[in-house]
Amino acid sequence: MGIGYGVGIYDFQLIRTALKNLGIPEELQALFPDVAEIWLSQAIIWKQGMGLQENPALVLNLKSTQRLSNDEQVKIENWLKKRMQTKAIELVIEVTNNKSSTSNSKRNRNSTTSAK
């Protein structure tokens, strides 16, 4: 099991501009209309028995109005790996609705710590 620690990204404007130019939020929402909110960040990973990992992981926190199937989660993960050109992805999903917010967070089963 990995534990991700969020770290400050030193050039938020650069990250923001890159995401805007790549159209990540718009493309994700077009592919998965139930996506209501995303948070994209970078994290340093520590794993039991392995310590701190060399390369950071890209973390996508996603809020959806409907539960996403395992196939949809794998598609999101693979799409983001391709778009961001990295293999180190951590996907966290929360299902929300008008009555309450149900946390169905699922950590990516196949995340790696080696960047492309």
Q: Is residue 116 included in any domain, yes or no?
A: no
Q: Is residue 108 included in any domain, yes or no?
A: no
Q: Is residue 7 included in any domain, yes or no?
A: yes
Backbone conformation region of residue 67, classed left if phi is above 0, alpha if psi is from -120 to 50, else beta: beta
Q: Is the alpha carbon torsion for 1, 60, 93, 91 positive or negative?
A: negative
Q: Is residue 114 included in any domain, yes or no?
A: no
CB 65 within 8 A of CB 34: yes
Q: Is residue 109 included in any domain, yes or no?
A: no
Q: Is residue 112 included in any domain, yes or no?
A: no
DSSP per-residue letters across 46-96: EETTTEE-SS-EEEEEEEESSPPPHHHHHHHHHHHHHHHT-S-EEEEEEEE
Give pLDDT tens digits for 31-64: 999 999 988 888 888 889 999 988 888 889 999 9
Q: Is residue 79 included in any domain, yes or no?
A: yes
Q: Assign residue 45 the CATH number of its domain.
A: 3.30.300.30
Distance in angstroms (rounded) separating the CA atoms of residues 84 and 87: 9
Q: Is residue 82 included in any domain, yes or no?
A: yes
By residue range, what is the domain housing residue 81? 2-102
Tens place of pLDDT per residue across the chain (116 aa): 334 344 444 556 766 777 788 888 899 999 999 999 988 888 888 889 999 988 888 889 999 999 999 999 999 999 999 888 888 889 999 999 755 444 444 444 344 333 33
The count of domains in the chain is 1
